[in-house]
Amino acid sequence: MSGTELDPATANYPFLSALLNRRSRRFGLGMKIPSGPLAFESRFQPAPLTEAEEAALAFAACGVTGYAMGDLCYGAGQGGNIMAGLVGRTISSGDCIQTVSLVVINDGACHWLRRPQDFSAAEIGELISLAKKNAFGDIYRRTRIKIKEGRAAPSLEPAFNIAANKWSLHAKGTTYFLPINELSFMYINGLLEVLNEQTRLFILDERAGFSPAGLRSFARSKGGHLEDDPRRGRIATIQMIERLVTEFVTIEQGMMLQNLGLMAETLGLGGFPHFANHDFCWFQELGFRMERMRAARYLGVGTIGTLALNLLGRNPAVPYPIGLEVNGEPILKAYSPPWFPNMESAVRAVADWKFGRNGVFRSTAVAGPWKANEEIKSKIPGISENSIAATVAYCDYVWRRYGRFPAYMPPFRTVLGFQACHLDAEFYERFYRPEALPRT
């Protein structure tokens, strides 16, 4: 593949062949394995990916492909209004939120790729048309925003990395794809569903003696609508809810990585997913806005434990990301202070995104998949005030008690990255059977 657009052979590569031949292949041009039974030094110079190759990989990971079906039951109380978007990508997304971002890093720069919610309705239509033409280079140029000159590369030392990756990670000529989870929108959107009159979930704080997490006045035993009788099976804890949110979003990362692997196979490139799970190192490297919190509070340690850590001098300040700005404007932000005055404003911002005057399901400017688009959207019921009030109370409790939202981790999270490169065939010819490198 060369030039600036996808060539026909690549566009017509059989999907089953990509599935059968997809492998993690790491040894690129210009690399060196210094010791061990696979010791080898490439005699070639590193060869960076072309823009067309990066564009195809980026599209596979997160390209806009059309409108989501949204084929749910939108009758009152039937749950269809949990949806938060109508634009689909190459990967699935819970509630069509499209919460995972992608950063593309090469020797020249770091670029953040805009998500569907970061485009106007007119731009979405143009992106869909370009995708149908396989014009991935044009899509790539319209989507990316430079966030840093040069290559971002955190330390290769533990626990920022693992030893197995040190020899090849961030090598010259490689392109690094980093998915970034944003948890707070999905979290709030999910709360608006589980704290409504139908699901009636009641949430306890396991780190405060299993007392109600700001929801005492909403308990059915107190005249509210949430089911606080444990025999009814509708009790959860903060940790249970946040683990569910994290897993939901991280699955989207997994789909990004699988698509990157399949596209790398199709293009005849090397590539492999690997450890990128650190609370703050990647975000510091990429220039995210950071807050700091003492380790004891960051980890939810109680009063006695905090005093002990202070006395021992083992309560350092821990940095954590809250958003990303370009030229003073936030392009990624958590749904919490300081981007919002308080958690009530953040909760209502999520509700308004969906059902406000300019919301996804109320604005006539926002397209969708249905023939009678405006008529159908106008009949989708909004979010009840009971659900909004309970969500505000819970979120405000978490923010006041733990000083951040979510309580157990930062609102932004990395788990795995994917590094792509041009392979050195001589390495594989030296050590591997012929089928190690398929025809691409």
**pLDDT band at residue 3 using 50, 70 and 90 as cut-offs:** very low
pLDDT confidence band for 439 (50 / 70 / 90): confident
For the segment 276-290, what is each residue's pLDDT rounded down to a tens digit?
A: 999 999 999 999 999
CB 214 within 8 A of CB 343: no
Mean local confidence (pLDDT), 250-254: 96
Q: DSSP string covering 377-440, please? A: HHTS----HHHHHHHHHHHHHHHHHHSSSSSSS-SEE--EEEEEE-B-HHHHHHHS-GGGS---
Cβ neighbourhood burial of 97 (10 Å; 0-12, 13-18, 19+): buried
Whether the full predicted model's pTM is greater than 0.75, yes or no, is yes
Q: State the pLDDT at residue 6.
A: 67
Q: What is the pLDDT of residue 407?
A: 97
Predicted confidence (pLDDT) per residue in 292-343, tens digit: 999 999 988 888 889 999 999 999 999 999 999 999 999 999 999 999 999 9
* Per-residue pLDDT at 5: 62
> What is the model's pLDDT at position 300?
87
Superfamily of domain 8-436: NADH Oxidase (3.40.109.10)
- 3-state class (DSSP) for residue 363: coil
For residue 219, give the nearest of 203, 206, 205 by alpha carbon.
203
- Mean pLDDT, residues 242-262: 97
Sequence ranges of the domains in the chain: 8-436
> Between 185 and 304, where is the model more confident?
185
Percentage with pLDDT > 70 across the chain: 99
Q: What is the mean pLDDT of residues 216-229?
A: 98
Can you read off the two tokens belonging to residue 218?
Answer: 């909403």
Average pLDDT, the chain: 95
Task: List Cα–Cα distances, 35 to 40, 46, 167, 272, 421, in angstroms.
Answer: 8, 20, 10, 21, 21
- For residues 62-79, average pLDDT: 96
Per-residue pLDDT band at 7 (split at 50, 70, 90): confident
pLDDT of residue 314: 93
Tens of pLDDT along 8-37? 778 889 999 999 999 999 999 999 999 999
Q: 366: pLDDT confidence band, cut at 50, 70 and 90?
A: confident
pLDDT at residue number 158: 87
Give the pLDDT score at 10: 82
Mean pLDDT, rounded, for 146-174: 93
Q: Which residues contact 410 (CB under 8 A, 6 or more apart)?
A: 279, 280, 283, 320, 321, 322, 404
Amino acid at the residue 358: N
Joined together, the tokens standing for residue 337 give: 């202070």
Q: Per-residue pLDDT averaged across 234-242, rounded?
A: 98
Mean predicted confidence (pLDDT) in 110-123 = 96
Q: What is the pLDDT of residue 4?
A: 52
pLDDT of 375-412, one tens digit each? Answer: 999 999 999 999 999 999 999 999 999 999 999 999 99
Question: Is the dihedral angle over the CA atoms 70, 74, 77, 83 positive or is it negative?
Answer: positive
Beta strand 32-33 pairing with 100-105: unpaired
Question: Do the beta carbons of residue 365 and residue 373 sit within 8 Å?
Answer: no
